Chains A and B, each alone.
Chain A
Amino acid sequence: MSLRLLRRCLSYLVLIVIGLVGIAPFAFLLILSFKTRLEVLDVPPSLHLHWATIRENYRTVIHDKGFLTFIRNSVVVTGAATVIALLLGVPAGYAFSRLRFRGSDTWASTILSFRFMPPVAVAIPIYLMIRQLSLANTDWGLILPYVAFSLPLVVWIMIGFFDEIPREIDDAALVDGCTRATVLLRVLLPLVRPGIIVAATFGVIFIWNEFLVGLYIISAQDKQTIPIAAAGLLTTESPIDWNIAATVGVLTVIPILIFSIFVQRYIVRGITSGAVR
């Protein structure tokens, strides 16, 4: 009996350690963002909670660095790109799941393969293309390539979810006199809603974080998204102003943190939907 108790205690100890390892980098970053420039250098690491310092750090980033603009840009770009990717990807997923046509498997695999292509291989041509279209430093300059990057994922996730709906439902609706379009819009779309949420979630995460391609498409500061701005702010400032860099980091993480609380189960579902059925 006591052996079981010991094992139980050990398990909880391991659980706590796992949790700590997962969260330590976040915690350290948060603590840094509460410090002044000099307090950062404290050894052993100290915890400071002076409201004035905290307010000063966050005011500097939000106000002087224009962080709100970056959030606005990120929201616009991510929102638009995700919606367009869904508009293009959901019908495609439906077609691959329901219609049989020559080469459909090959087409589907080809689309998936784009998900695995190294981004650097397309980064340069896309950059040159966007520059040629005079879309550098505009929201569309980011939206257009980001749709293409998230589309393969959306299509594949949607194929999986459409496949899970029994075909008999389509047949029944068709027999009742619905057209194919009404079947998709009125009958199937409500049924694949979880799939759409999963696809949207993965699209949002990917687009929200992308910066390799964006870094060069956007050079004007008022058009930068959060990761692009963060990349700029962090490489130039981190050696000196660690407290400010940390504050940028914390403000970058917070939207993701809030988002992840809402979509956690969809993330798990998205990752496992292919590997575990």
Chain B
Amino acid sequence: MAGTADPVSERRSGSLRAAPTQRRGEALLLLGPCVCYLIVFSVYPLVSSLVRSFEDYDSRRDTWRWIGLGNYRHLFGDQQFWHTVEHTAAFTFGSVALQVVGGVALAFFFNQRLRGATIVRGILILPMLLTPVVVGLMWRALLNPDWGMANWLLAKAGHSNVPWLSDPGTALRTLIMVDTWQWTPFVFIIVFARLQALPTEVFEAGEVDGAGWFQRTRYITMPLLLPAIAFAAIFRSIDAFRTFDLVYGLTNGGPVQATNTLSYQAFQNGFEFQHYGYASAISYVMVIVAAIGLTLLLRFVRVRRVAY
């Protein structure tokens, strides 16, 4: 879920000029509680994870032992880890690509007056709000090989049964499909809002100049939408990259690890096998990747401010 306000905006043009000392005191008073809270419950756990990633946990004696880069060496030598990296990359790329295409298509589609469109847009918001376990449940029911709706419909259309979740080759694609069902509306909402906010004069000018629908879309609308699309895509990429709940609800990483993502692998190692140190190492690889994605997003947010 996303709140994506952008504070970098007009902070610099502030017209308030309080005395520096007074300002520092006020800032401390207003920010102190929030910052302290985050230090205890966000910074400390993150630092602790980093430290733990250099340690080995003995679950029988409940003790930690420093092993330096041991966990990382083990991790990078582990075939399963690289498979997981591959799945995570394929999942992230596949679902974000589909969601961007779908979201933009939906935005263009809803950019016309249709009766009942508001209701359908309301329906589209729902999947994003759902408890992930329930998303998994719904789709496991729909895709059930014996009595699920999906295979029954396919059979009626003359198609043979699809092993949605039971075949290693299709399971990851099924995961991408469900994620796309759930999150395409997110991209849609962002792109649609941008589309509706575009000044109509530009299009009228284009029309006067004799540009057809395709040309107007290609040379006027798309460039204007691009920042919003890129923003949504990066945002979704970071979220898709750390997908955990969908895997938990839908496939548990299977069959034969085919849908294991980094989050899920870290979760399993940590909570199921109690390999806290190893799990921390996996999650720290994720933190670094997420940080790179975030840098991209933040730079982009700033650039966008200048561009508009």
Q: Which of the segments A55-63, A103-111, A134-142 contacts the partner chain? A: A103-111
How distant is B64 from chain A, measured CB to nearest CB, in Å? 10
* A277 to B189 Cα, complex, angstroms: 14
Cβ–Cβ < 8 Å partners of B3 in chain A? 153-154, 156-157, 160, 198-199, 202, 270-271, 273-274
Quick check: is B157 within 8 A (CB to CB) of the other chain? no
Cβ–Cβ < 8 Å partners of B49 in chain A? 121-122, 124-125
**Would A171 and B248 count as touching, CB distance under 8 A?**
no
Quick check: is B134 within 8 A (CB to CB) of the other chain? yes
How distant is B300 from chain A, measured CB to nearest CB, in Å? 11
Quick check: is A41 within 8 A (CB to CB) of the other chain? yes
Q: Which of A100, A155, A212, A248 contacts B244 (CB 8 A)?
A: A212
Most buried by A among B7, B49, B276: B7
* A109 to B127 Cα, complex, angstroms: 29
How distant is B58 from chain A, measured CB to nearest CB, in Å? 14
Q: Which of the segments B8-16, B70-78, B91-99, B201-209 contacts the partner chain? A: B8-16
How distant is A174 from chain B, measured CB to nearest CB, in Å? 8
**Would B138 and A26 count as touching, CB distance under 8 A?**
yes
Quick check: is A67 within 8 A (CB to CB) of the other chain? no
Q: Which of B31, B197, B279, B291 contacts A124 (CB 8 A)?
A: B279
Q: Which residue of chain A has the shortest Cβ distance to B33 in the bound complex?
A: A88
Cβ–Cβ < 8 Å partners of A104 in chain B? 11, 27
- Spell out A's residues near B (CB within 8 Å): 11-12, 14-15, 18-19, 21-26, 28-29, 32, 40-45, 87-89, 91-101, 104-105, 107-109, 111-114, 116-129, 144-145, 147-148, 151-161, 163, 167-168, 170-171, 174, 180, 198-199, 202, 205-206, 208-209, 211-212, 215-216, 226-227, 230-231, 234, 238, 242, 245-246, 248-249, 252-253, 256-257, 259-261, 264, 267-268, 270-277
Seed contacts A116-B290, A120-B283; 15 additional CB < 8 Å A-B pairs: A14-B109, A93-B7, A99-B27, A100-B23, A105-B11, A108-B8, A116-B297, A120-B244, A120-B270, A121-B49, A128-B276, A145-B41, A152-B38, A167-B15, A275-B4
- Spell out B's residues near A (CB within 8 Å): 1-12, 14-16, 18, 23-24, 26-27, 29-31, 33-35, 37-38, 40-42, 44-46, 48-49, 52, 106, 109, 112, 114, 116-117, 119-120, 122-142, 146-147, 149, 152, 181, 186, 189-190, 193-194, 197, 228, 231-232, 238-239, 241-242, 244-245, 248-249, 262-263, 266-267, 270-271, 276, 279-280, 282-284, 286-287, 290-291, 293-294, 297-298, 301, 308
